[in-house]
């Protein structure tokens, strides 16, 4: 049955549809303008340098000191730590298998002097809720230099809320369990604690994920240090470890404070 | 002779202005003289706070630098003349506006004024209110201090965990940008943009309100949404100009004065204030970062482990929806759920119960987050807090409804209501203790707080069950007699306060407004409070033809503000 449409009604409908389309057409340019070009960059390989641009040497690092640097993005802060026992002896950090997500009730493996036994791996697997990743061994002449991201995996509190407490340092809130070398990475925001000498595995909830580690390289001939990769969970607050503005081939290191935003 | 000539001249000037500006024909809704009360004009307080925010915010743009957020904020506070006045009052105006929004919204919810024909006004109001919350979030992120940095970090993390990597990436890149050098420019732009949209929505909200005017008082309608509007042919309507205008001026000046005066006191007592309410940037390292108070409630919701989804990408989607998506949707749905003629809260038990649970729940979650930040919330903890206000609302509304409908309330009803109440308050913590949930003390106290608050609201509903009927006002035979003798004296004193603070402000402006920032802020607040009270005095004089003389407290309560402020100024500041 043919439907008779009056010319006036047809004109109104076409007009209304056209005006609606016009208004909708304005939206895409505005949205495209507001959304920044999404950056998923390459993982940089960056040499660690001091603020005067001279290279950082592994042997001149002091134990129990925060050496802070931004990597792999210009706003993701990390710390280089030289780990020692309470008596000051260096601890060689071996390669480790670390679960990406674990039950807070989990009891960490006893110590890391040897490869994990079969039973220990079984126990870890029972407690872990996800996969494992390989935590790189410590670098430097004594194999005791490690680097961790300092944005808490729990709710994203960065340094100075999350920081390293050397053996014997008192902690104001929620005294956590102590790491294997007597020191601990502890976050003031909600009391999460990680063990810096065991791949930053979880010591105290509410966090359930370990801190991401920066994979370091040490050149034994020149004694220079390089940050080459991130391992572990994605840096908290970031969609991916290279989503954003990545650092250049040299990153500035500052002692016990956030480094200046400068390029060398 | 000369005086007469001046008088005629002034009158001719005024008549010229009055006619040419069309003040006589202002198309705003006119209301009777007895409609100028606080609860009807809560929206005016919101609007006045917003205008102060817009004004001070636009002036702050002169010196705020997004590339150095913290440094430029501190420079405004501690180096620019009257910069502390502008920035602290901007912050406190935001606090004040949000509190006023809550008061305005829940007053209208409990009085049922969202009904036909005001549904659109309500919906636009809800949208404006939630956008104002978002604007405030961007605003306090602008400071670049620790609270701001944590806000941006936590906001990013929560977005990604709630929305997943792909959508989360887009949302985060729009809100904060991916390049950190650009973050504060973006937050700044979004703050101004969101405030501009709040203004546009407010204009629509206000325009629609003016189409229908305020809902007639329950004393006139007997708690009915009929008649929908105040008839515009009543004899006791006040002309919009000058009566309504003078009243609005009084509300505006008093709001600005209160905000600025409180900001001045906050500067004076900054050391005593908790970090979230400090008027200065927070740089301390040993303080647990928290969202601002108006987003504190989301903090507890995001910690509710029983809402966590077993999803790889979006484990916190449910918390996100409960905290941020559901509340505006529920509020927008209210006019469509409740289509009854009666506006009495007891006749609308579902909406009133919802209102009680939302208002009490917001308060409980806020305080709970303050005392137990970051601790996960299990289901028993949640029930211990949430069940008391819910059962109080159910039991209270059930009993009040029977009373209002004239049905008997016997022992059976009382017993079942009491049983529900006691069970709702005590069962969750008892079950928790039985199954070994530790440390339920804080939750139990929060539950009792919820019971108390819900009881207070129910008490208000019970007290409002019967209202004294009011009709059209009658013209006063002797208008001069309706103004009490002490009012002119009080007004003279306020002129004194205004002159004193104005002179002192000029002196401070010449001498050293940076070093005397506290005094400058407090005196500006005092000046505006005195001006507002004087404006209210003009209103009282204009309304003398229709409003009979009230009791002493009713007549002077507005005028207490400048005098209390003067006393506080003399004690603490000078």
Q: What pLDDT digit, counting tens, does each position of B190-219 carry?
A: 999 999 999 999 999 999 999 999 999 999
pLDDT band at B283 (very low <50, low <70, confident <90, very high): confident
Q: Are residues B445 and B489 in the same domain?
A: no
Q: What is the total residue count of chain A?
A: 264
Q: Are residues B460 and B354 in the same domain?
A: yes
Instruction: Please provide the DSSP assignment of B290-359 as one string.
Output: ---GGGHHHHHHHTBGGG----SS-TTHHHHIIIIIHHHHHHHHHHHH---SB--GGG-HHHHHHHHHHH
Helix (H, G, I), strand (E, B) or coil at A231: strand
Check if the beta carbon of residue A48 is closer than 8 Å to that of residue A225. Answer: yes
Q: Are residues B403 and B360 in the same domain?
A: yes
Spell out which residues of chain B touch residue A155, defining contact as CB-CB under 8 Å: 153-154, 157-158, 374
* Per-residue pLDDT tens over the stretch B533-556: 999 999 999 999 999 999 999 999
CA B195/CA B101 separation, integer angstroms = 15
Check if the beta carbon of residue B513 is closer than 8 Å to that of residue B81. Answer: yes
Domain finish residue from B464, B485, B509: B464
Q: Residue B427 falls within a domain, yes or no?
A: yes
Q: What tokens were used for B137?
A: 């979030």
pLDDT band at A223 (very low <50, low <70, confident <90, very high): confident
Mean pLDDT of A203-225: 87
CB contact under 8 A, A156 and B150: yes
CA A87/CA A63 separation, integer angstroms = 11
> What is the domain extent for residue B437?
345-464
Q: What ipTM, to 2 d.p.?
A: 0.73
Give chain A's largest Cα–Cα span.
Answer: 97
Q: Are residues B387 and B430 in the same domain?
A: yes
Q: Which of A188, A184, A189 is nearest to A200 (CA)?
A: A184
CA B29/CA A173 separation, integer angstroms = 58
Q: Are residues B350 and B460 in the same domain?
A: yes
- In percent, the amount of chain B with pLDDT more than 90 equals 78
Q: Residue B90 falls within a domain, yes or no?
A: no
Around Cβ B211, how many Cβ atoms within 10 Å?
13
Find residues 510-569 of chain B whose CB sits inside 8 Å of chain A: none
Q: Residue B124 falls within a domain, yes or no?
A: no
Domain finish residue from B443, B464, B485: B464
Mean pLDDT of A4-15: 91
Q: Which of B399, B334, B408 is nearest to B114 (CA)?
A: B334
| DSSP element (H, E) containing B496 | helix B486-511
pLDDT band at B285 (very low <50, low <70, confident <90, very high): low
Q: Are residues B369 and B421 in the same domain?
A: yes
Torsion of CA A84, A88, A89, A93, to 10 degrees: 0
Q: Residue B209 falls within a domain, yes or no?
A: no
Around Cβ A122, how many Cβ atoms within 10 Å?
10
- Helix%, strand%, coil% for chain A, nearest 5: 15, 30, 55
* Per-residue pLDDT tens over the stretch A196-209: 888 888 877 778 88
| DSSP element (H, E) containing A213 | strand A213-218
Q: Residue B374 falls within a domain, yes or no?
A: yes
Q: In chain A, whose CA is at the least distance from the CA of B150?
A: A157
Report pLDDT for A243: 82
| DSSP element (H, E) containing A69 | strand A67-70
Q: Are residues B500 and B538 in the same domain?
A: yes
Q: Residue B499 falls within a domain, yes or no?
A: yes
Q: What tokens were used for B123?
A: 């919906």
CA B353/CA B168 separation, integer angstroms = 35
* Per-residue pLDDT tens over the stretch B444-478: 999 999 999 999 999 999 999 888 898 899 999 99
CB contact under 8 A, B288 and A75: no
- pLDDT of A158 over the 90 cut: no
B172 touching chain A per CB within 8 A:
yes
Q: Which residues pair with A80 in a beta bridge?
A: A67, A147
Q: Which residue among B154, B169, B182 sits closest to A243, beta carbon to beta carbon?
A: B169
CA neighbours closer than 13 Å in the CB half-sphere of residue B290: 25
Check if the beta carbon of residue A84 is closer than 8 Å to that of residue A144. Answer: yes
Mean pLDDT of A157-166: 85
Domain count, chain B: 2
* Per-residue pLDDT tens over the stretch B163-180: 887 888 888 889 988 877
* Distance of residue A121 Cα from the nearest chain B Cα, in angstroms: 24
Q: What is the pTM of this model?
A: 0.84
- Higher per-residue confidence, B190 vs B160: B190
CB contact under 8 A, A243 and B178: yes
Report pLDDT for B158: 85
CA B147/CA B169 separation, integer angstroms = 23
Give chain B's largest Cα–Cα span.
Answer: 94
Find residues 279-298 of chain B whose CB sits inside 8 Å of chain A: 285-289
* Per-residue pLDDT tens over the stretch B292-316: 889 989 989 998 989 988 887 788 8
Residue the block writes with tokens 């229709």: B546
Q: Are residues B444 and B548 in the same domain?
A: no
Domain finish residue from B464, B484, B516: B464
CB contact under 8 A, B288 and A188: yes
B173 touching chain A per CB within 8 A:
yes
Residue the block writes with tokens 């482990």: B305
Backbone angles phi, psi at B52, to 5 degrees: -65, -40
| DSSP element (H, E) containing A48 | strand A46-49
B197 touching chain A per CB within 8 A:
no
* Per-residue pLDDT tens over the stretch B29-59: 999 999 999 999 999 999 999 999 999 999 9
Torsion of CA B357, B360, B364, B367, to 10 degrees: 150
Supply the mean pLDDT for chain B. 93
Q: In chain A, whose CA is at the least distance from the CA of B190?
A: A34
**CA distance to B100, B195, B196, per residue, from B128 (Å):** 13, 10, 11
Report pLDDT for A113: 42
Report pLDDT for B391: 97
Q: In chain B, whose CA is at the least distance from the CA of A74?
A: B180
- pLDDT of A111 over the 50 cut: no
**CA distance to A132, A194, A197, per residue, from A137 (Å):** 15, 17, 10
- pLDDT of B569 over the 80 cut: yes
Q: Are residues B485 and B543 in the same domain?
A: yes
Q: Are residues B354 and B452 in the same domain?
A: yes
Q: Are residues B368 and B425 in the same domain?
A: yes
Mean pLDDT of B332-339: 95
Q: Residue B102 falls within a domain, yes or no?
A: no
Q: Residue B192 falls within a domain, yes or no?
A: no
* Per-residue pLDDT tens over the stretch B239-264: 999 999 999 999 999 999 999 999 99
Q: Which residue among A35, A155, A244 sits closest to B179, beta carbon to beta carbon?
A: A244
Q: Which residue among B165, B178, B181 sits closest to A39, beta carbon to beta carbon?
A: B178
Q: Are residues B349 and B457 in the same domain?
A: yes
């Amino acid at each position: 049955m043919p439907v008779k449409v009056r010319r006036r009604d047809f004109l109104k409908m076409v007009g209304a549809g056209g005006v609606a389309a016009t208004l909708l057409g304005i939206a895409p340019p505005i949205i495209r303008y507001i959304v920044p070009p999404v950056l998923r960059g390459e993982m940089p390989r960056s040499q660690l340098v001091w603020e005067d641009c001279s290279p950082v040497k592994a042997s001149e690092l002091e134990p129990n000191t925060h050496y802070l640097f931004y990597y792999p993005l210009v706003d993701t802060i990390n710390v280089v730590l030289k780990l020692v026992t309470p008596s000051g002896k260096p601890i060689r950090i071996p390669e480790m298998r670390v679960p990406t997500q674990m039950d807070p009730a989990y009891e960490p493996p006893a110590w890391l002097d040897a490869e994990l036994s079969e039973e220990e791996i079984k126990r870890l697997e029972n407690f872990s809720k996800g996969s494992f990743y390989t935590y790189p061994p410590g670098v430097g002449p004594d194999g005791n230099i490690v680097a961790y991201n300092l944005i808490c995996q729990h709710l994203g509190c960065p340094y100075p809320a999350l920081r390293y407490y050397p053996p014997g340092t008192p902690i104001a809130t929620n005294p956590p369990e102590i790491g294997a070398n007597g020191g601990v990475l502890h976050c003031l925001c909600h009391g999460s604690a990680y063990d810096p000498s065991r791949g930053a595995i979880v010591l105290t909830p509410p966090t359930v994920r370990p801190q991401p580690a920066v994979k370091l390289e040490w050149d034994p001939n020149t004694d220079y240090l390089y940050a080459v990769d991130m391992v572990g969970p994605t840096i908290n607050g970031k969609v991916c470890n290279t989503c954003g503005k990545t650092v250049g081939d040299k990153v500035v290191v500052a002692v016990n404070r956030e480094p200046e935003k400068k390029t060398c | 002779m000369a005086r007469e000539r001046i008088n005629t001249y002034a009158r001719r000037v005024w008549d010229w202005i009055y006619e040419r500006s069309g003040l006589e024909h202002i198309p705003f809704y006119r209301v009777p003289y007895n409609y100028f009360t606080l609860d009807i004009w809560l929206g005016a307080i919101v609007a006045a706070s917003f205008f102060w925010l817009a004004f001070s915010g636009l002036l702050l743009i002169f010196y705020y630098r997004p590339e150095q957020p913290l440094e430029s904020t501190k420079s405004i506070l501690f180096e620019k003349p009257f910069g502390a006045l502008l920035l602290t009052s901007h912050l406190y105006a935001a606090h004040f506006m949000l509190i006023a929004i809550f008061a305005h919204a829940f007053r209208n919810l409990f009085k049922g004024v969202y009904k036909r024909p005001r549904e659109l006004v309500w919906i636009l109001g809800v949208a404006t209110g939630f956008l104002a919350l978002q604007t405030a979030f961007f605003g306090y992120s602008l400071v670049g201090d620790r609270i701001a940095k944590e806000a941006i970090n936590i906001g990013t993390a929560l977005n990604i965990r709630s929305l997943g990597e792909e959508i989360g990436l887009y949302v985060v890149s729009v809100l904060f940008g991916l390049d950190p050098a650009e973050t504060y420019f973006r937050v700044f732009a979004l703050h101004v943009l969101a405030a501009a949209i709040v203004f546009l929505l407010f204009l629509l909200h206000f325009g629609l309100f003016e189409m229908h005017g305020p809902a007639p008082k329950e004393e006139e309608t007997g708690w009915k949404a009929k008649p929908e509007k105040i008839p515009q042919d009543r004899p006791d309507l006040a002309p919009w100009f000058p009566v309504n205008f003078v009243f609005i001026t009084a509300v505006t000046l008093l709001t600005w004065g209160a905000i600025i005066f409180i900001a001045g006191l906050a500067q004076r007592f900054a050391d005593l204030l908790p970090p979230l309410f400090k008027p200065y940037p927070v740089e301390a390292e040993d303080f647990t970062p928290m969202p601002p108070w108006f987003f504190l409630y989301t903090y507890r919701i995001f910690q509710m482990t029983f809402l966590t989804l077993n999803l790889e990408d979006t484990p916190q989607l449910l918390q996100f929806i409960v905290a941020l998506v559901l509340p505006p949707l529920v509020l927008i749905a209210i006019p469509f759920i409740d289509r009854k003629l009666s506006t009495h809260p007891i006749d609308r038990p579902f909406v009133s119960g919802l209102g009680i649970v939302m208002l009490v729940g917001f308060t409980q979650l806020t305080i709970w987050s303050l005392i137990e930040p970051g601790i996960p919330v299990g289901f028993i903890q949640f029930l211990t807090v949430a069940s008391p206000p819910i059962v109080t609302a159910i039991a209270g509304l059930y009993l009040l409804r029977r009373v209002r409908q004239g049905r008997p309330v016997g022992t059976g009803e009382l017993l079942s209501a009491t049983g529900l109440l006691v069970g709702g308050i005590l069962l969750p913590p008892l079950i928790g203790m039985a199954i070994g949930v530790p440390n339920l003390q804080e939750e139990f106290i929060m539950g009792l707080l919820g019971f108390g608050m819900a009881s207070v609201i129910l008490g208000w509903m019970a007290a409002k069950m019967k209202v004294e009927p009011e009709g059209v006002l009658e013209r006063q035979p002797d208008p001069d007699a309706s103004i009490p003798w002490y009012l002119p004296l009080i007004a003279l004193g306020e002129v004194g306060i205004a002159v004193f603070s104005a002179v002192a402000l000029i002196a401070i402006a010449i001498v050293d407004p940076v070093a005397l920032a506290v005094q400058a802020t407090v005196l500006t607040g005092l000046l505006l409070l005195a001006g507002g009270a004087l404006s209210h005095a003009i209103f009282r004089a204009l309304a003398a033809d229709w409003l009979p003389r009230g009791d002493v407290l009713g007549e002077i309560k507005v005028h207490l503000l400048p005098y209390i402020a003067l006393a506080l100024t003399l004690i603490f500041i000078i």
